Chain A
Amino acid sequence: MIFVENISKTFKLYRRPSDRLKEIVLRSCFHKEFQAVSDVSFEVREGETLGIVGENGAGKSTILKLLTGILIPDTGTVHIAGKITGLLELGTGFNAEFSGIDNIIHNATYLGLSRREIDERLDKIIAFTELNEFIKEPIKTYSSGMVMRLAFSVAIHADPKAFVVDEALSVGDAYFQQKCIKKIKGFKENGGSIVFVSHDMNAVKLLCDQAVLLEQGRLVDKADPETIINQYNFLIARKSRGDEIRYRNEEPSSGYGNRKVMIDHVSLVDENDTVSEIFISGRPFKIVVRLFGRESVENLTLGILIRDKFGQDIYGTNSYHLKKRISIKKEETIIITYAFKEFNIGPGKYSITAAIHTCSTHIDECYHWIDKGAVFEVVCGGGHVFNGLVRLTPNLYMKNGSASFLPTPGISSENDSTA
């Protein structure tokens, strides 16, 4: 159980640390103030996971540090029934010269375990790391993934009543991650409270029972994860609106082509006609492209291509294939919208490539081609949870007996008798 009441934390920004002493002696002000957290209250009951969502600098990490006691709040109280451990302190005090076992013991001490408790758990911790004979080697011989495995194993076995997770779930390979998530879920079922901070909206949706939204140190809202994530998206969208340069090109080049017609702007719009960067799988989605004609062009083709973070093509088409004739006059601006009723691609990060050319491909004459005209993220929606690139919507049936299109069922006991 974590109980936080009206905590505030102001950082005083001094030009030099010694100014703090000057201030005490001279009794005058030498600092600027920065309010990192202001008047935040929440509680996390046993077996509950609270997600903290917010932009960079919203005060998430400060709250975690206040929870674990690394920082002391200016006002307000933090009450925690039992011990609190954080995954943000993974591997504190690791020394590369010492063996895995020595580092387990040392790290566990920092996490507040007594020697007796460590001895009791040592075997379990070592088993969880799956480092086998490596556990006796100095950790300078480990790969970074192995070090993280060691660190995570200690943290998760420190047996806290409350747990603070800071984007740290991405330790090790997929197998170990699954193992960690299972362990965290088990911890939750045994009545542990978890505070989870992440920019990974899918993880928040998957793991948390409740979420809070932070903006500039203030707690804006507390609700179920989905509501909060939508609000967060709205917050980001509101912020990016009015931002003239929306191209997030890694290279400053604005694409290529002869630019008789130019792609002036690419924006992504959700069902409420708000520009956003985060969309929910299965919900309406629009790609809006603004074109500017520097010369009059008859019959041009506008193509779009959605690529995932690895640059793989996910979906692409153009106005030629969709049988829409587009023409533009000199000095004219036109807006073309690709509207998707259900945007059925899986969670992940994507980018939009847009191109204008003649006929079906850009090979003959390309007017303008832009990579990463817009970037966006897709998160799982309120519907069923799924994995993978595509959101399919199967129906599930069950019935007894057989179906005409199936071969006669084989009897498994026959196999047993032949064995």
Chain B
Amino acid sequence: MSTLNASFIIEITKRDFAERFAGSVLGSLWAIIWPVVNLFIYIVIFGKIMGARLPGTSEINAYGIYLAAGLIPWTAFSSTISRCASAFIDKKHIITKVNTSLPSLMIHINLSESITYFISMLVFFVILAFQGHEFHRELMLLPFLYYLQQLLAMSLGLFAAVLNVFIRDVREITGVILQLWFWFTPIVYVFDILPGVVRRLMAYNPACIIIQSYQRIFVFDDYPPFHALIQLTVITHVLLFFSFVLFRHLEKDIRDFL
């Protein structure tokens, strides 16, 4: 069994980007154009033109920033899960031909999504700087938040990927769940408009904890809910361990079935 190989992961990640923009004139410039367009929509269209206001803040751009602060991490989180879920099937032609380390495939998805995330964040920061946004030291927590969300995404993605080999519907189910999950998480709306019952349920929504942390850091200049984050960190690692054990247990079958 081949072990994790950094050079391999980097090369397939590069290829991932190259393949996405293969044959296009602008090439990997598209990797920057997309986040710019998205952020323009969040901040200018939603924030300024539609004039949505965020309760509890004085900034007129607050809603746009709120949206961006939620959507950038959510996009990375959800695409990591959905891409991981179908990774084994998508790369079937390679897995059945060369000795590929299957966890490497998961990690490359993470890396590739991280690059998109990083570019989006960079663009976001540039825009914020232009608008004269004040940066606070809570921003130092971003790397940790990102680590946590991607680790969670990977453990869920790996779990789905293993199941997907045996039940091909899992990919579609994952898509549906992610869609529902998105609307059950206060990303486009604010937490406070939720009815009390749902609000209490939100304590069990890990995405909500993570997204709220981002929103607090960017919009409300506040510390994230540390207690919940620590709990989530523990749960995430347990989950990843569980997914990995399941994967190792079924790896032989996965290779046979592909």
Contact = CB atoms under 8 A, between A and B. Distances in A.
A110 B255 contact: no
Given A20-B166, A71-B256, A72-B252, A95 B98 contact: no
Interface stretch (A85-93, A230-238, A350-358): A85-93
Contacts of B100: 110
A111 B98 contact: yes
A92 B256 contact: no
A97 B24 CA distance: 10
Given A98-B18, A112-B8, A71 B98 contact: no
Nearest to A105: B11
Given A71-B255, A72-B1, A109 B12 contact: yes
A95 B7 CA distance: 19
Interface stretch (B37-45, B71-79, B88-96, B120-128): B88-96
Contacts, number: 76
Contacts of B165: 17
Interface string A94-113: 01011000100110011110
Contacts of B12: 109
Interface residues of A, number: 29
Contacts of A11: 256
A274 interface: no
A89 B8 CA distance: 17
B23 A97 contact: yes
Main secondary structure of the interface of B (DSSP, over half): helix
Contact of A109 (B8, B19, B95, B255): B8
B97 interface: yes
A114 interface: yes
Contacts of B252: 71-72, 74
B134 to A, nearest CB: 42
Nearest to B99: A69
A202 to B, nearest CB: 27
A110 B7 contact: no
Contacts of A20: 166, 253, 257
Interface in A64-88: 68-72, 74, 86, 88
Interface of A: 11-12, 17-18, 20-21, 68-72, 74, 86, 88-89, 92-93, 95, 97-98, 102, 105-106, 109-112, 114-115
Interface of B: 1-2, 5, 7-8, 10-12, 15, 18-19, 22-23, 93-100, 163, 165-168, 251-253, 255-257
27 contacts: A12-B253, A12-B256, A17-B167, A17-B168, A18-B166, A18-B167, A20-B166, A21-B163, A68-B98, A69-B2, A70-B95, A71-B256, A72-B1, A72-B252, A72-B255, A89-B98, A92-B94, A92-B97, A95-B19, A97-B23, A102-B18, A106-B15, A110-B8, A110-B94, A110-B100, A112-B5, A114-B7
